[in-house]
Amino acid sequence: MPLKAPRTSMPAQDPAERSHNFKEVALGYTAEMAKTEASRCLDCKNPLCVKGCPVEVDIPGFIRAIVSDDMSGAVDVLKQKNNLPAVCGRVCPQESQCESKCVLGIKGESVAIGRLERYTADWDMAQTFKAPEKPEPKSERVAIVGSGPAGLTAAADLAKMGYQVTIFEALHTPGGVLMYGIPEFRLPKAIVQQEIDYIRALGVQIEVNAVVGKTVLVDELLDTEGFDAVFIGTGAGLPNFMNIPGENLNGVYSSNEFLTRTNLMKAYDFPNYHTPIKIGKKVAVIGAGNVAMDAARTALRLGAEESYIVYRRSAAEMPARHEEIEHAEEEGVQFRLLHSPIAYEGDEKGQLTKMTLQRFELGEPDASGRRRPMPIEGDTVEMPIDTVVVAIGQGPNPLVPHSTEGLELTKKGNIVADEETGVTSRDGVFAGGDIVTGAATVILAMGAGKKSARAIDAYLNAKRDQ
C-alpha cells in the first residue's frame, strides 16, 4: 500500500435526514473499510501514537490483528488497556490525542485510530456474550462513588484483581455523562448499557438511587459499612450560569438540564416518556465546547427551526471536537461568533423572548494561550429567541466533598488528589476524573480510574501485609 493512501472516510447518515432523528450519526466502518484503513498503519517500532493515548492502548498491536483478520485478537489487545472501547472509539478527541501523534500525520493524514477502535469494539459486541473469567477473590471491599467513566473503569479493574466492588450512583441509571449528557445520536445508550453489563458480569454490584453525602456518607462507607477503600468519581455536576439579568426566565436551561431531560429522561419521546421539554422555534446555545455542540444539534432534532451557537471568541478557539463542529454545521447549526449575551427579556408570563448580545473582538493571548475576547464598548445587538441553553462549563458538585471529613479541596471546590495515584488527603480515600480535574474528557477520567485502581490495590496489599 502506498504511503499516500488517503484516510478511509466513515459513512454517516445524510445530514438533512439525521437532523430530525436521534439515531447515530456516524455509521462505522464495514469490514472492508476497516482492513483498508488498518493497512495504512506502518506498525512503527516506536509507536508515537501510543504516547498520545492517556490509557496507552497498544495501537499498532490491535491494528495489526485487524490486518491479519484476527478480530478476537484485536479485541483482546484493546481491552487490556481500555474497558470502554466502544465509547472511546466514538467520543475520544482523537485528533488531539493518539491521532495527533501518528507519524503519518506529519506529512499526510494520520491513521483513523478512533474509527478502527470503534470497529473492533462493535465487532466484539456483535459476538455472543462470553462471561469474563472471574479471578481468585480477595476479601477486601471497595466502594466506588459515581458510575461515570472514572468510576466504571476503577470498578472494572479492581474487580479483575479480585476485589469485591460496589458502585454507588445517585441517579436511577449508571453511566454518568455517557448516559445523561452525551446524546443518543453520538453515543447510543445501548452501547453504554452493554459496557455496563460487561462490568456487572465481572461481579461489580451497582447500587443506583444512592446519593453519597445524603443516603450514605463516605465516612460511613469506611467506618460502618465495611469498605476498605473508597474511590470518588462524582464528575463535574454543577452547572455554571452567567448571573446576568433574566437568566431565571422560563426558556433558559442549563445544558445539564436540557440534555438530562432529553437523554436520561427521553423527553424526545414525550409523551410516551412522561418528562416534558420545551423547545421554541429559535434556540441559542451559549458556548462552543462538546456540550454546546450536543445541545445545538439536539435542539434541531427536537424541532427547533433555527439553532445557534453563540460564542464570545472566534472559530479557531472553539473547544469542541472537530468532527462535532463539522457535523453541527452540516446539520444547519448557525454560528454567532464573537458575541455573548448580557441580558435576557421575557413576556408577562415569564417566557424568554429576546436577548441582548455584546459584541467582542480578540485581544492578546490569555493564560490558556487562546486570544482573549474583549467587549467592543457600546456595540450590542438584540436577538429574538425562544430558548437558551447555557453551556459555559461545570463546577464540582459539592455534595460529596462537603460531607466528607478531612478531604482537602481546591479553591474551586475540586478534590485535591495525586495525579498518578488519586491519593487524597484522607487515608483510604482516592479520587479521579472530573471531580479532580474539572470538566475534561472521557478518556482522561478512565485513565484516572485506572491509576487509582492500581493505587488502591497497592494500598490494600500494604495493609494486608502489615
Residue 388: CB minimum distance to ligand SF4, A: 33
Q: Is 102 helix (H, G, I), strand (E, B) or coil?
A: coil
Contact 346, 251 (CB under 8 A): yes
- Using CA atoms, how far apart are residues 138 and 156, in angstroms rounded to an integer? 14
Could you give the CA distance from residue 139 to residue 226 in angstroms, rounded to a whole number? 11
- Alpha carbons within 13 A on the beta-carbon side of 196: 22
124 versus 434: smaller Cβ distance to ligand FAD? 434
Q: Which is nearer to ligand SF4, 94 or 234 (CB)?
A: 94
Q: Exactly one of 97, 234, 307, 437 binds ligand SF4 (CB under 6 A); which one?
A: 97
Q: Cell digits for 3? A: 504511503
Instruction: List alpha helices for 260-351, DSSP H.
Output: 290-301, 322-331
Cell output for 258: 436540557
Find the shortest distance in angstroms from Cβ 182 to ligand FAD: 5
Q: How far is the CB of 138 from ligand FAD (least distance, A)?
A: 24
* Footprint of ligand SF4 on 432-451 (CB under 6 A): 443
Considering only residues 167 through 226, tell me which ones interact with other proteins, judged by CB under 8 A: 170-172, 208-211, 214-216
Contact between residue 175 and residue 233 where contact means Cβ atoms under 8 Å apart: no
- At its nearest, how many Å lie between ligand SF4 and the CB of residue 3? 10
Scan residues 279-318 and list those touching other proteins (CB under 8 A).
none
Residue whose C-alpha cell reads 485478537 in the numeric block? 73
- Shortest Å, Cβ 356 to other proteins: 19
Distance CA 266, CA 298 (A): 12
Task: Please state, in angstroms and rounded to a whole number, the distance separating the CA atoms of residues 296 and 283.
Answer: 8
Number of shown-chain residues binding other proteins (CB under 8 A): 42
Q: Cell numbers of 462, please?
A: 500494604
Task: Give the contact letters, 237-256, x = binds to other proteins (CB under 8 A), - = no.
Answer: xxx-x-x---xx-xx-xx-x
Do the Cβ atoms of 387 and 253 come closer than 8 Å? yes
- Residue 219, CB-side half-sphere exposure with 13 Å CA sphere: 9
Closer Cβ to ligand SF4, 171 or 443, answer by number: 443
Ranges assigned E (strand) in 279-320: 282-286, 306-311
Burial 170-203 (b: 16+ CB within 10 A, else e): bbebbbbbbbbbbbbbbbbbebbebbbebbeebb
Sign of the CA dihedral with 442 first, then 74, 61, and 136 last:
positive
From the list 86, 89, 29, 28, the residue with the least C-alpha distance to 53 is 89
Identity of the residue, 183 or 373, whose beta carbon is nearer to ligand FAD in the bound complex: 183
| Cα 127 versus chain centre, distance | 26
168 binds, among other proteins, ligand FAD, ligand SF4, none (CB under 5 to 8 A by kind): ligand FAD
CB of 457 to ligand FAD, least distance (A): 19
CB of 371 to ligand FAD, least distance (A): 24
Instruction: List 344's β-bridge partners, or say none.
Output: 355
Residues that bind ligand FAD (CB under 6 A): 91-93, 145-151, 168-171, 176-177, 181-182, 210-213, 233-235, 237, 259, 290-291, 294, 321, 397, 399-400, 433-434, 439-443, 445
343-362 residues in contact with other proteins (CB under 8 A) are 349-351
Shortest Cβ 81–ligand SF4 spacing (Å):
8
Q: Which amino acid, 83? A: N
Q: Which of 26, 34, 38, 53 binds ligand SF4 (CB under 6 A)?
A: 53
Q: Which of 26, 38, 102, 385 binds ligand SF4 (CB under 6 A)?
A: 102
**Least distance from C-beta 389 to other proteins, angstroms?**
11
Nearer to other proteins, 278 or 354 (CB): 278
Residue 43 interacting entry, from ligand SF4, other proteins, ligand FAD, none, C-beta within 5 to 8 Å by type: ligand SF4
CB nearer ligand SF4, residue 150 or residue 279: 150
**DSSP per residue over 409-436, as a string?**
B-TTSPBP--TTT-B-SSTTEEE-SHHH
Report d(CA 206, CA 148) in Å as an integer: 12
Q: Is 170 helix (H, G, I), strand (E, B) or coil?
A: coil
Which CB atom, from 92 or from 338, has the smaller least distance to ligand SF4? 92
Told to check if 47 binds ligand SF4 by CB under 6 A, we report yes
The residue type of 54 is: P
Q: Does 397 sit near other proteins (CB under 8 A)? A: yes
Summarize as ranges the residues that interact with ligand SF4 (CB under 6 A).
41-44, 47-49, 53, 55, 57, 59-60, 82, 88-89, 92, 94, 97-98, 102-104, 111, 113-114, 117, 443
Summarize as ranges the residues that interact with other proteins (CB under 8 A).
170-172, 208-211, 214-216, 237-239, 241, 243, 247-248, 250-251, 253-254, 256-257, 260-261, 265-266, 270-278, 349-351, 397-399
